Amino acid sequence: QYLPVITHDPGHAYEYVKSMDLESYDAIVIISGDGLIHEVWNGLSARPDAERALALPIGHIPAGSGNGLAKSVLESCGENYGILDAAFCIAKGGHQPIDLMCVRAGDKQQKVSFLSLSAATISDVDIESERLRCIGSARFTVWAIWRVLWPVRLRAELLYWPAEAPGQPSAEPPPLSAELEGQPPWTKVVDDFMVFWACNTEWAAWDSKPAPGACLSDGIWHLLLIRGKSASRTRLLRAFLALDKGEHVHVPGVEIVKCRAFRLIPISKSGHLALDGEKLPFGPVQVWPSRYRGHVLGGEPSNLSLP
């Protein structure tokens, strides 16, 4: 048995799952892009019983422009990418955990992220290409060509907890005003970023693999950076052309920084930030491990009953 729910406007899915009866369902299957999944996980995390709600597995049948979650799950299961492949993977009944992150930005309520946070050229491609949504996923390619010719740079301060450092960030995310600099093992970088792309999954879209080797639940985010003197149009173009196979990591000037938490503080006066493909208020933003994990349909067959 299933209950179809057709969303009519932004926030509909958020409000629906925030008050849904968990006892009536074993899973949620979403036919959409990554934006609706972001909305659903944020609605589940806003419930008083968030830990139990987030144990409800999410299945993703790709129907958007990017579909990074569906691609990442299918790859982890050794399946090809496609609508029928995703449906088959979901029907097998297995599920696996996925890391969720707590995101603070501006004065707005804390958000949950499962996919990525981008700034500079990447967020510009994500947000500004919305005007070309009528051409589907090709909108990213068209706008990326434009931004290779006219790149976006963001002057910013980056603080991150290296993945290889001992210990873990505190269980409770600190406020954005809390001082992190000077407290080991926090590492500080101040530079002009042409590319800033923080990823939780190996694939950020069905044809973009910015974080080769990333796992869904290893507690690590991969920061793809092109910055400073290494930031040229030629290197940006070479990185873009190699993203589909993850070969951009071999382009000189491309950095992959693995971390467990980070804070990005823009020094530039304007720009875009995109969280799981959705626009964030421009300003300081912090990404921190959540106390809870999400679960996705796709993996070894197992019991789907809630704890």
- Residues with active-site annotation: 34
CB-based contacts of 181, cutoff 8 Å, min separation 6 = 159, 188
Continuous H helices in the chain:
12-19, 34-45, 50-53, 68-76, 83-91, 120-128, 138-149, 233-242
3-state secondary structure of 289: strand
3-state secondary structure of 27: coil
Q: Report whether 81 contacts 66 (CB < 8 A).
A: no
Angstrom distance (rounded) from CA 25 to CA 20: 9
Residue 214 CB-density burial (10 A; 0-12 exposed, 13-18 middle, 19+ buried): buried
Cis peptide bond N-terminal to 307, omega within 30:
no
User: Which among 272, 253, 264 has a CA at the least distance from the CA of 221?
Assistant: 264
